[in-house]
Structure 1
Amino acid sequence: MRVVLSTYGSRGDVEPLVNLAAELRRLGAGVRMCAPPDEEFAERLAANGVPLVPVGLSARALTTAVPGPSSLPERAARLIGGQFEAVAEAAEGGDLLVATGMLPAAAGALSVAEKLGVPTVSVTFQQLTLPSPHRAPLAYPGRPFPPEVTDHRALWELDARTVDELFGAALNGHRADAGLAPVEGVRDYVVGDRPWLATDPVLDPWRDVPEYGVVQTGAWLPHGERPLPADLVEFLDAGAPPVYVGFGSMPLHAAPDAARVAVETVRALGHRVLVARGWAALDAVDDRDDCHVVGEADHRALFRRVAAVVHHGGAGTTTTAARAGAPQVVVAQAADQPYWAGRVAALGIGAAHDGPVPTGASLSAALTTALAPETRERAAAVARLVRTDGAAVAARRLLALADGGARPAAR
């Protein structure tokens, strides 16, 4: 049994697939993964015995370069072309392909699988890309929706048109070269009629939509924990639990002073600080011993030992902090992150910071909420409800689909 996993995006798009790959291998399946060629991704896959098939340019370089919205069609063409090249080789003879990540990349991977006759499953790590009458879609950069349009279904129709305008020509050009018919409705082609939602139902409750059946597996968390670096353990052992500050794959161009503001604010509240470098390359603001800077570390092991987690609101970080019972402050930067900030606040397990740029006053107010005893009590209660078996559930379902003949790749 051979399963091919395909994604393109930041760590939040790659890490869940790494966890799924590990579960698939535990069940005896062969796994290959198509992903950006970033060294950190290759190392994580190698540690789990999964070969990386590199696709396109470095995701970190692409993210930190901050191209303007006008370049979206050009970037999409490169992403789709990379999928047609890499996935075609990786998926040949495969039993199943799982596609996720940036929409044009997923469309390319699914097209390759269609050409090869390999069954497919489409996955998303947040529900905001799934059309629903219960909420509006996210707008693409530089393409806001008309303010007079408020009906959700009408907005989703506009979203479908925007996706076709941005990505349709590039996708259908590559499909024509491969001898495939053009796609009418790129977004719906990617979503399909039975998409998978790899999120926790407590943190991210899904309301059914009659048009298609969503399979919610739970979030794809890692099976175990990796040891923390020795210098980090030494810092944690040397005093009271610190407040963690990290923004993952966000370059923080809108908030370049975030590290200094966070360190000074946390100190003013009487806590030690743990700063995660991330893709913004955050660093210490001075050499005081109440602040430690960490690079790569297992969040599952780390977040149980902190007083609170200040972060950007990625799906993975939000879920891991919730599972650890760590109160959160979400300083959302873009995309689905405001949604996760709202969920954290609604569940009472932390605070949604007001806007993407923290100040001393705004961050202090949010941290005061997160550090309150009642917030920690609520976070501990919710932690007991968060599922840890999502990747295992998904792996078993995938192998059952492959054994029984998954739905055909033609969509």
Structure 2
Amino acid sequence: MTPPKIAIIGGKSSDSLAYWKHQGGSLDLHEGSAQVALREAGLFDQFMAVARPEGEVLKIYEPNGNLLLDESTGQGERRPDSFNGRPEVDRVQLRDMLIDSLSPGTIHWGRKLSTVKTTAVGLDSVYDLHFADGTTETEFSLVVGADGTWSRVRPLLSDTRPQFSGINGVDVKLSNIDAVDAKLSKRVGLGMCLTLGSNTTILSQRNGDGCVRSYGFMRLTEDWARTCGIDWSRPAEAKKQFLDLYYRDFDQDSKDLILKADDESVIPRPMYMLPVGHKWPHRAGLTLIGDAAHVMAPFAGVGVNVAMEDALHLARSLVACRDVCAKTAVKTHERHLSNAVRDYEEAMFVRAEAYAKDTWMYLDLFFHERGGHAMCEHFANEKQQQQGQQQGQQTGVPEM
């Protein structure tokens, strides 16, 4: 059997440096998805060596500084058990670990994809990749679009574009928070610190490098950054203006998470999502994984987990296809390869739809008119349901 030629188009394939350091905040990897993928890749022990289980804890504040929930002390109890087993890892550490596991030359850096074109070889269609530098790579049996929110591969499969989620604001980073402000460091704690007002939030998260990333997000228009009157080219003044406009009712500690952040880190950041249930008709030789397939806002904390689950299931399908073809001495693989990809897609569509529904549910909790009280009540209700299910299992009496 002639092995298929497969190209994976990455979202940062145009980086000039393989170990680009501006990767965003910390990620929690779940036991049933991303951690399974790492185990099968033989990387679980390396992951646990850099993971931060202590980063799982959550704090929720009101804008006036009143603490509603603190999982590190037991105030307000903890979230349901379904939130356990999700240690944090910095994006850069995860990315470096994955890159280092590959053979040298597997990733081609500095190759920005321009177009994908179909050509015919015999009875089969294959794909040529054309890059911005004028080079071309030819005759791929499968092209996997793993190239993020604004994927260049997706338009070959779907006319649907990501939609603005209704959430906009700024992304900032406060480096070395322990030295800058020990009191502020204590407020954040070891994990995530949410200050939830009425439809307006400051979401902060500790990273393993000693920084805290914060997000001043609220319900705004898509063009807000351009029309709000804030001069983003002057970040020190922009931070003050942003807080004066939208956070007058927030206590000083929560505002300082933005005010004391590194000036060069201030980035306006609208949130986008593909529609719930996004799918496409199967097309032999093309597929999508991760944000290219189902970009979601980060409020359910599932993005990287869904993406790694996609990669795991697609890899399993391709390996199974290879094994079947090898056993049956099939000389051409295209039909079997297409069926393997179709199997992956059909299961992924179902899984991604459920995650997208959860994301919208949590978005509405983060940006609720009742602020953090709505979030805490949601956790309490989920925990009560979980305890009821556990009691029913113990007694053998089905729930009504």
Q: Structure 2-normalised TM-score?
A: 0.29
Q: Specify which structure has the bigger relative contact order, considering alpha-carbon pairs within 8 angstroms and separated by 6 or more residues.
A: 2
Q: Structure 1-normalised TM-score?
A: 0.29
Higher percent of residues as helix: 1
Which of structures 1 and 2 has the bigger CA Rg? 2
